[in-house]
Amino acid sequence: MVLRVDSPGGSVVSSEAILEEIKLLDKPVICSMSNAAASGGYYISMNSEKIFAQPTTLTGSIGVFGIKVDASKWAESYGIHSDQYPRGSHATAMHPLTPLTPNTKNNISRMVLDYYDYFKSLVAEGRSLSAKEVERVAKGRVWTGEQAKEEGLVDALGGLDRAISYARTTHTTAEDVEVEHWPRRTLSLEDLNWSEMLMGTKESSISDIFEKLRAAIMGIEEEGGESTPSLEQSFLSELAELKFAEKPHFLLTMDENTALDLILRGE
């Protein structure tokens, strides 16, 4: 599997969840870094057999920080007060209306340092580096792909095509290998062959056009048979039931009088 990473980072929890899912894969993972693969983006690459980066990729940023919002004084200035009945002395420590106490500050600092040490241990294991070598390139420093290769943070320079080529030549024996891209690309109206779809529409009904449009979007080959009167409604229902990421992009336009008429009729 080729893992394409284009992320400046994110939460520790999300990064760890993604990395653990990658570890569960029963196949080699090759990482291809896009514009950015920093912090959490670099974190999730640590189980990769080989890492490819562009010379200008921004990567590294091996570091962790934590934020505690203390809005207690602001709330008090507006007469806002809160009451809690915590089950522990630090149960409400991260609540925005709970003041930042020295104990809370120490706990947050200790938690951040623990996460930072764990991040560095992942890098040391994943990149076969010593703790001292990791510490030298860590501390939140951001590196270009070219610099990262010199520091041992990535293996080679190249884009997605080179990563796929490496996976093909290293882990397959067949000459013709089909590459599947996930998530699957959503279809937009620009992708449709409108000239072919609308040619000869003088003798075609609106239902015929909807059937062709539905077939193109849903990947269904046209079959013989008469169109049903409710085809448009069923097609739009199918679109509504699709998951958001799978929906095609539509832009419907109408003239002002028609729009006002629809509004006045409550449709």
Distance CA 196, CA 175 (A): 35
The residue annotated as part of the active site, out of 39, 45, 48, 61, is 39
Distance CA 151, CA 133 (A): 9
Sign of CA dihedral 123, 142, 159, 14: positive
Exposed, middle or buried, 206 (CB in 10 Å: 0-12/13-18/19+)?
exposed
β-strand partners of 142: 60
| Buried b / exposed e along 38-73 (16+ C-beta atoms within 10 A) | bbbbbbbbbbbebbbbbeebbbbbbbbeeeeeeebe
Distance CA 217, CA 211 (A): 10
Indicate the length of the chain as a whole number.
267
**39 assigned to active site:** yes
3-state secondary structure of 144: strand
Neighbours of 21 (CB within 10 A): 11
Are 63 and 138 in contact, with CB atoms under 8 Å apart?
A: yes
Catalytic residue numbers, as ranges: 39
